[in-house]
Amino acid sequence: MNNKYIFGGVIVTVFLGLMIYLFTQTNIQYESDFTRVVKVDKTVKATGSWVKAKNYEIDKTNRTFSFYMVDEKGNEMKVVYEGTIPNNFESATSVVVTGKYENGSFHAKDILTKCPSKYEDGQVKSSSL
């Protein structure tokens, strides 16, 4: 009977430890200042916009997609993503990349793009009855 309680206690302890670990890993901070992104040694979500003047590069042999982003203060950062170019990237108004800054560039695990919305103008067409 005591073995059941010990086994149950071990299971609960392992479960709680796993939950705490997963919670700390998913607690990712947003950064819109690239000077802070460079200094952080953990996964962050960096927000900015694509520098269209520098274009982007697709390396098919290494399966990477790279481009330059600029933050709201004008700081630039190179982003390298192992994957293909996201849909609507060229028409995106802003970009959110998730990853870490290492070896002189930001290595993204995920890229989200925000595209212009047809509702941004504030003009909503109403139908007449």
40 lies in some domain: yes
Is 10 within a domain?
no
pTM for the whole structure: 0.68
In contact, 30 and 41? CB cutoff 8 Å: no
Q: Which residue has the tokens 């003047």?
A: 53
In terms of residue numbers, what domain contains 70?
28-114
Confidence class for position 127, pLDDT limits 50, 70, 90 = very low
**Beta strands at 105-114 and 44-50: parallel, antiparallel or unpaired:** unpaired
Instruction: Kindly give, in sequence order, each residue whose CB lies less than 8 Å from that of residue 34, ignoring residues fewer than 6 positions away.
Output: 46, 48, 69, 71, 73, 75, 76, 77
Tell me: the pLDDT tens digits for 47-90? 999 999 998 999 989 899 999 999 999 999 999 999 888 888 88
Number of domains in the chain: 1
Looking at residue 83, which CATH number applies to its domain? Answer: 2.40.50.140
